[in-house]
Structure 1
Amino acid sequence: MSDSDGAGKWEIAVAVSDVKAGEPVGCSLRQHEIAVYLVDGTYYATSNICTHEQALLTDGFLEGCEIECPLHGARFDIKTGEVLSSPAETDLETFRTRVVGDHIEVLLPE
């Protein structure tokens, strides 16, 4: 069960052991496709769908805090969701994360 946080609800996304540095992991939570990343000891979460095309970002390439879409090379900052290169023009949705026990939780909007 998830605790409410006023701005949303915490949901268990993935096990801590499933997320390795440089290897994003995807999951489905309610109507959201989520990508979870580990960079420099910090977990981040974004939408897993490129805003330019319907491609899974977890099939792309992660370098530092930048994820590159596998279809057309659009790049995004995983910390802010900001578009860093075309052809994408719309930022990614980002989600707060926290570690609880052996799981990574993501704060989803209500």
Structure 2
Amino acid sequence: MMIPACLLVDLPRGEAYRLDIDPPVSVFHTDDGEVFAIDDTCTHQDASLADGWLEGCEVECPLHASKFDLRTGAVDAPPAKRPVRTHEVLVQDGMIYVVPSTDAPNLPPCVAARLAGGPA
């Protein structure tokens, strides 16, 4: 399933767009013109990676400065220990589409409980 995120022209290089699905996904347009999508929630605590700082193919969480590789989801700097999930991105006719991963997300416990219907 392809989910339309936004038009490529509406996402400037060096910026991110948050796709409000469960769980949310961040779409990043790097300074080099590449487009990546990862889970929006930091695996350490409940913080939006779309609000973080983008440098090259790496995003820094705005809460505790964990860094994630946009290409692989790998943790590049602690305190996060688990990677974020990556998603396939397609650009067709100027529209950015995200194909959500079927892998289980690595969410912090408070977010996982909220999505499961439990206390946050």
TM-score (norm. length: structure 2): 0.79
Pick one of 11, 21, 24 that aligns with 1:33: 24
Question: Structure 1 runs of 4+ off > 3 angstroms?
Answer: none
Q: What secondary structure is seen at the aligned counterpart in 2 of 1:96?
A: strand
Match of residue 35 from structure 2? 43
> How big is the shift at 1:28?
1.2
How many pairs align? 101
Who is 2:57 aligned against?
Answer: 65
Kindly report the root-mean-square deviation, in angstroms, between the aligned alpha carbons of the 2 structures. Answer: 1.2
Measure, in 2, the Cα distance between the counterparts of 1:91 and 1:34: 14
Structure 2: which 5+ runs fail to align?
Answer: 103-120
Q: Tell me whether 41-50 or 10-19 shows the greater mean CA deviation.
A: 10-19
Q: Mark the runs of 5 or more structure 1 residues left unpaired by the alignment.
A: 1-8
Quick one: percent identity of the two aligned structures?
A: 36
1:80 aligns with 2:72: yes
1:17 to 9, 26, 40: 9
Structure with greater helix percent: 2
Once residues 101 and 66 of structure 2 are traced to their aligned partners in structure 1, the CA distance between those partners, rounded to angstroms, is 26
Q: Which has the higher strand share?
A: 1
